Structure 1
């Protein structure tokens, strides 16, 4: 039985390329029927898959099911994985399709109620801030202001650590387009961060005035 548990944090000295090479090697070994390699492959990428799905999925309660579905699809398709791209990129492309399929299924059935905001999933799956961001400013609120394409490009490259080339392959667009989307996303996030900080400073100033009075 496969246990989908997050892996321990990698040491700071471990490079992304080395990690990806190891994960790809585990995927290839898992394809050959090595049960330990299957566990390593799943454990190494479970966190990334869940985080990515949380950013794309509209239903926070469906995140775990979609992550599970992603790995079931991947394990069922391992015999076709040949290592031409990294196993991380390959798996995230499967996660993307799983989310897309869930959207199609949801659109085909009657809606009984509004779907909870996707940002709730992000709040549970991500830290409240990126490096340099104040913890009091919710990351989900900032990302939620981005167009979907820019948000996806930013999450893939800046939060999950994919190269621009891998992100381009996953999303099916040119590398230059990914770079442009990330650049625009970063500019928007910085602008929103500055605005949010300004609002908070005004709030603090108002509190100081009330206290002084």
Structure 2
């Protein structure tokens, strides 16, 4: 049974603010030459980068390569990171550019096959064996039906827990636009969840 429980912005923010402070501190320490901090920075954000890349990428088989490319770019650019935004928002911006660059590269050569669905890769980085996992997969199914811009705003703020201001920087759009996209995405998801539950409720016990 699908439960129409969508995360709230406040809950997502509270859950990630402390972690963001830690990862940002590790990134700044790694910038100063601390190798242990660099390893902690990568481990802490690896899953978020894979989830975001999986959302953006049309080829699930390329997710690991793009995530690795993201971290290689980030580690090579740490000397320019000054902590003005969280390290996670900074890293997701790099991930977005890595995906865009991969599309540009792919456009220059013919593709042997086309896998238009990001969902299998996104599901592969969902935690398994935990309460609510089935609902999480169902939510991914519903997210696939959203317009791309609304889906990205929802993933950044509700699944990855970025504050709206940082999600706006990652998406390169005004904060008000992100809020509008998330509100519309949530309204659509609630309608889809309600519609998905109707047949189950109509079935005899």
Counterpart residue number, 2:96: 96
Question: How far does residue 22 in structure 1 lie from its aligned partner after superposition?
Answer: 1.5
- Measured at CA, do residues 112 and 26 of structure 1 come closer, stay the same or move farther in structure 2, by a change above 3 Å? same
Runs of 5+ in structure 2 lacking a partner?
1-13
- Measured at CA, do residues 134 and 33 of structure 1 come closer, stay the same or move farther in structure 2, by a change above 3 Å? closer
Equivalent residue runs for 1:42-121 within 5 Å? 42-115=42-115, 117-121=117-121
1:17-49 Cα shifts (integer Å, max 9, x gaps): 222111111101101111101011111111111
- Measured at CA, do residues 45 and 133 of structure 1 come closer, stay the same or move farther in structure 2, by a change above 3 Å? closer
- Contact 1:55 / 1:119 at 8 angstroms: preserved in 2? yes
Distance in 2 (CA, whole Å) between partners of 1:114 and 1:196 is 29
Question: How far does residue 137 in structure 1 lie from its aligned partner after superposition?
Answer: 6.5
- Contact 2:59 / 2:114 at 8 angstroms: preserved in 1? no
Does residue 177 of structure 2 align to residue 183 of structure 1? no
Counterpart residue number, 1:150: 150
SS in 2 for 1:37: helix
Runs of 5+ in structure 1 lacking a partner?
1-13, 209-213
Distance in 2 (CA, whole Å) between partners of 1:148 and 1:68 is 24
- Contact 1:123 / 1:138 at 8 angstroms: preserved in 2? no
Query: How many matched pairs?
Result: 190
Distance in 2 (CA, whole Å) between partners of 1:30 and 1:175 is 30
Counterpart residue number, 2:23: 23
RCO higher in structure (CA 8 A, sep ≥6): 2
CA RMSD of aligned residues (A): 2.2
Counterpart residue number, 1:5: none
